[in-house]
């Protein structure tokens, strides 16, 4: 298992252009927060706009899914593209080990990067304490884990996983969940916002109108993660490896 994880991490880390892209994306909200801090004075409406615009609009709805999508679809995508998946499946190891290694590699690369981005943005823009930072970190981590499960599956399902993921992120997570309240129960963005609001309702009270209940979000994220992990293992067992 450790061997597979090490290999998967090395594969992701070896893609310099991909790393540069996700680091740039993760740095974007931090840069915007730094600029806003210099330009706009603190106040009630500022905090609300910051949370709605930068935390939800840019990080949770944009950077979080895009960075995770880029890494998680590549986890299996590159093996399929390079025709190296055979080296993994032609071994006496359970298929779920392979899936777990790919999934964990995405979480281990995307997680710290997005948490650092989210925490730095919040600390810079709102000058909050470390407890709030921990809330942001935990919520983003749940988002990373759930998205990683979905996009790892997508990477194994199709060679056009990135296109599929982009459509999913913008249509489902972006447009649909904004206009259809019930869909938030089936949305990773909805889970992440619910965790932010559920863990710290005072600071993130502005998210209240869009957040589902905390237990529902925790259960939803768990179910989606498990379901897509299982679907990925099933796919790996059934697919023809070229």
Residues that bind another protein (CB under 8 A): 3-4, 7, 10-11, 14, 82-84, 86-95, 237-238, 240-242
Q: Which is nearer to another protein, 4 or 64 (CB)?
A: 4
Q: How far is the CB of 5 from another protein (least distance, A)?
A: 12
Q: For residues 81 and 127, which CB has a smaller minimum distance to another protein in the complex?
A: 81
Return the number of the residue (52 or 91) whose C-beta is nearest another protein.
91
C-alpha span between 54 and 62 (Å, rounded): 10
- What is the Cα–Cα distance from 27 to 63, expressed in whole angstroms? 9
Q: Residue 215: is it exposed, middle or buried by C-beta count within 10 angstroms (0-12/13-18/19+)?
A: exposed
**From the CB of 219, what's the least distance to another protein, in Å?**
31
From the CB of 15, what's the least distance to another protein, in Å? 11
By the 8 A CB rule, do 77 and 159 touch? yes
Rg (CA), the chain: 18
Burial of 180: CB neighbours in 10 Å, binned 0-12, 13-18, 19+: exposed
CB of 155 to another protein, least distance (A): 17
Instruction: Name which of 202 and 240 has its Cβ closer to another protein.
Output: 240
């Amino acid at each position: 298992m450790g061997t597979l994880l090490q290999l998967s991490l090395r594969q992701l880390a070896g893609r310099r252009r991909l790393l540069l892209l996700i680091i740039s994306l993760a740095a974007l909200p931090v840069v915007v927060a730094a600029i806003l801090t210099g330009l706009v004075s603190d106040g009630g409406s500022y905090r609300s706009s910051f949370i709605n615009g930068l935390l939800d609009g840019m990080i949770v709805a944009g950077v979080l899914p895009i960075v995770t999508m880029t890494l998680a679809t590549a986890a299996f995508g590159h093996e399929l593209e390079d025709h190296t998946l055979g080296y993994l499946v032609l071994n006496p190891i359970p298929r779920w080990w392979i899936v777990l290694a790919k999934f964990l590699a995405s979480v281990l690369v995307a997680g710290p990067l997005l948490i650092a981005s989210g925490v730095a943005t919040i600390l810079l823009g709102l000058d909050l304490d470390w407890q709030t930072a921990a809330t942001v970190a935990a919520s983003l981590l749940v988002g990373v884990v759930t998205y990683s499960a979905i996009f790892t599956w997508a990477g194994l399902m199709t060679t056009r996983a990135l296109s599929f993921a982009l459509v999913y992120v913008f249509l489902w997570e972006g447009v649909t969940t904004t206009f259809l309240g019930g869909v938030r129960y089936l949305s990773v963005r909805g889970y992440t916002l619910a965790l932010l609001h559920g863990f710290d309702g005072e600071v993130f009270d502005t998210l209240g109108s869009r957040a589902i209940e905390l237990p529902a979000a925790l259960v939803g994220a768990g179910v989606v993660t498990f379901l897509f992990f299982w679907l990925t293992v099933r796919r790996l067992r059934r697919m023809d490896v070229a």
